[in-house]
Structure 1
């Protein structure tokens, strides 16, 4: 499973698709579910999921990759 995360203000990553947000949170115990059922991840958590190819990371509609 690979879903889209969006980097916000270079501080946090938001997963908006609630189906995948819930799965990532329940399976990996990462992030925090927000009141609108999106998942907020720290940069470290996002980097881990990106490295594991569980998410794609976007900022301003451009894909970000680990180097």
Structure 2
């Protein structure tokens, strides 16, 4: 992840916050870094919430 990418995402978040008139606990830059790190995570996209929580899938009846 580059700083330029984080700054670009922060600008997009800042504009969206301004459009909606909302505020967040995190600054737009810190939220951008958090989101980009989340996307960079190596968790497989096929894994669902039940997979990560070790919950067995429901069985059909």
What TM-score results when the alignment is normalised by the length of structure 1?
0.30
Query: Whose radius of gyration is greater, 1 or 2?
Result: 2
Q: Determine which structure has the larger strand proportion and give its number.
A: 1
What TM-score results when the alignment is normalised by the length of structure 2?
0.32
Q: Determine which structure has the larger helix proportion and give its number.
A: 2
